[in-house]
Amino acid sequence: MACGHNGFYHFGMFPTIQARFAEKGISSIAFNYTHCGISDDGDYFDDLERYKHNCRRLEVEDLVFMTKQLSENNLFHQPKHLFLFGHSMGGFSATFASKAIRETGITIDGIILLNSLRTLDVRTPEIMEEWKKNGVYFRSNMRTKQELPQGPEFLVETLASDSTWNMQPIVEKLTIPCFVAHAVDDEAVPFEHGRTIFSWVYKNNPRNAFLPIPNAGHTLNTTHPMKLDSEELEFFCEQVVDWIENL
pLDDT given at position 72: 83
pLDDT given at position 80: 87
pLDDT given at position 207: 98
pLDDT given at position 226: 95
Residues of the chain whose pLDDT is less than 50? none
pLDDT given at position 79: 81
pLDDT given at position 75: 66
How many residues in total does the chain contain?
A: 247
Q: Which tens digit of pLDDT belongs to each residue from 161-202?
A: 999 999 999 999 999 999 999 999 999 999 999 999 999 999
Supply the CATH classification number for the domain 14-119+176-245. Answer: 3.40.50.1820
